[in-house]
Amino acid sequence: MKCVICHGDEIEAMKVKEEFAVDNNIVYVPVQIPVCKNCGERYYDRRTMQFLEGIEAKISKKEVELEEIGKVLMYSHATS
């Protein structure tokens, strides 16, 4: 399998974190998917897509337990 972006042939199954934005929060969902080691392009098969869509729906309906691992912070400008 060659990368459609960079045409490299180093695509390996890797553990990555998919990100979902929910209100002001970011939810990470770990998945193992093929990733191009050259350019970082991620390849999702049908099953993974369906899994992620299912998880996203559950997250938005608050049907899953989530663990807080950090906070999202915003830099606020101080005018002086």
Least distance (Å) between residue 30 CB and Zn ion: 22
Tokens linked to 20: 């979902």
# residues contacting Zn ion (CB under 5 A): 8
Q: Which of 2, 5, 50, 60 binds Zn ion (CB under 5 A)?
A: 5
Cα–Cα separations (whole angstroms), residue 59 to 31, 42, 44, 47, 77? 16, 22, 20, 18, 32
Residue partners of 9: CB distance under 8 A and separation at least 6: 1, 2, 3
35 near Zn ion (CB under 5 A): no
Stretch that binds Zn ion, among 16-24, 25-33, 36-44, 66-74 (CB under 5 A): 36-44
41 near Zn ion (CB under 5 A): yes
